[in-house]
């Protein structure tokens, strides 16, 4: 188990597309991350407002760095986006289970919107293991697309946009079918509706990373418990965020 707190310093910050920021944090707490798909929980400032930490997915990491990509959707992410290089953040890192089963021949990594970032380090690790990887990235529109080139450097990459302005018109499922992508395992993160659609289409061979409103992020408050087929419940922050497709209960 690696749930640890540390101060991390912002060493780079850039806006990728409108309201979507990439930030690199530097500090020893990065070394507690053990698998792609684990997350980081950040105290945005020292004040009581905003009160709770903000859980963020991890796009890439090494022993000393964490790269994250987030969208400004509210007060906390707004404050975070305005931080400067050199600012420090109180972080809990290495939270959750992450993607640990990378055993397969042909993998497809499927990211939807802000579910794209955690697919990046995962794709890197899969490629490094010699797995044949394909990426499918879904966005609302061409203007929202980010990390296309980064993925293309790693593996064949297909884009789906809801308005059809780039790649397949429609969802990531449409792109999977249109491009006849073969895979024996899929890995995904994205909006719950997208994850539900994938579970219904491919119930047996996928790992899905879920999002939830969290109180603590480390298993204490039970704020993010979800019902699964294999146990009475799992906490998204500890036994998740990654669940196997066979245990997911689709809420409809």
Nearer to other proteins, 55 or 113 (CB): 55
Count other C-beta atoms under 10 Å from residue 249's C-beta: 12
Smallest distance from other proteins to CB 3, Å:
5
Nearer to other proteins, 7 or 201 (CB): 7
- Figure out which of the listed residues 222, 230, 249, 250 binds other proteins, where binding follows CB under 8 A: 222
Nearer to other proteins, 16 or 212 (CB): 212
d(CA 34, CA 28): 13
Within residues 5-44, the interface with other proteins by CB under 8 A covers: 5, 43
Count other C-beta atoms under 10 Å from residue 110's C-beta: 32
Within residues 84-143, the interface with other proteins by CB under 8 A covers: 92
Q: Quick one: which segment of 61-69, 166-174, 180-188, 211-219 binds other proteins (CB under 8 A)?
A: 211-219
d(CA 188, CA 207): 6
Residue 19 tokens, joined: 């309201």
- Tell me if 225 contacts other proteins by CB under 8 A: yes
d(CA 22, CA 24): 7
Question: Measuring CA to CA, how many Å separate 131 from each of 40, 122, 150, 155, 180?
Answer: 27, 11, 18, 10, 18
Judged by CB under 8 A, how many residues of this single chain contact other proteins? 29
Q: Quick one: which segment of 113-121, 154-162, 168-176, 220-228 binds other proteins (CB under 8 A)?
A: 220-228
d(CA 228, CA 215): 20
Q: Is 166 helix (H, G, I), strand (E, B) or coil?
A: coil
d(CA 93, CA 99): 15
d(CA 235, CA 80): 26
Q: Quick one: which segment of 78-86, 108-116, 131-139, 213-221 binds other proteins (CB under 8 A)?
A: 213-221
- Tell me if 203 contacts other proteins by CB under 8 A: no
x/- site string to other proteins, residues 154 to 193, per CB under 8 A?
Answer: ----------------------------------------
The residues binding other proteins (CB under 8 A) are 1, 3-5, 43, 48-53, 92, 212-216, 218-227, 232-233
């Amino acid at each position: 188990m690696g749930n640890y707190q540390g101060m991390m310093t912002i060493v780079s910050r850039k806006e990728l597309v409108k309201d979507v920021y990439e930030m690199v944090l530097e500090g020893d707490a990065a070394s507690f991350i053990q698998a792609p798909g684990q997350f980081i929980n950040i105290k945005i400032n020292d004040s009581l407002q905003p009160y709770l930490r903000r859980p963020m997915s991890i796009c890439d990491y090494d022993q000393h760095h964490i790269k994250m990509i987030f969208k400004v959707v509210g007060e906390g992410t707004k404050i975070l986006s305005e931080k400067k290089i050199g600012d420090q953040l109180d972080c809990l890192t290495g939270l959750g289970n992450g993607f640990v089963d990378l055993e397969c021949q042909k993998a497809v990594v499927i990211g939807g919107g802000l579910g794209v970032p955690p697919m990046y380090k995962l794709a890197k690790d899969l490629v490094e293991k010699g797995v044949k990887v394909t990426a499918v990235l879904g966005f609302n529109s061409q203007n929202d697309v980010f990390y296309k080139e980064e993925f293309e450097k790693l593996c064949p990459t297909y884009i789906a946009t809801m308005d059809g302005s780039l790649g397949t018109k429609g969802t990531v499922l449409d792109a999977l079918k249109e491009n006849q992508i073969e895979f024996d395992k899929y890995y995904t993160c994205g909006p719950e509706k997208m994850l539900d659609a994938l579970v219904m289409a491919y119930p047996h061979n996928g790992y899905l990373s879920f999002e939830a409103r969290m109180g603590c992020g480390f298993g204490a408050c039970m704020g993010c418990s979800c019902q699964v087929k294999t146990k009475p419940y799992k906490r998204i922050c500890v036994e998740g965020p990654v669940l196997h497709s066979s245990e997911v209960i689709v809420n409809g």
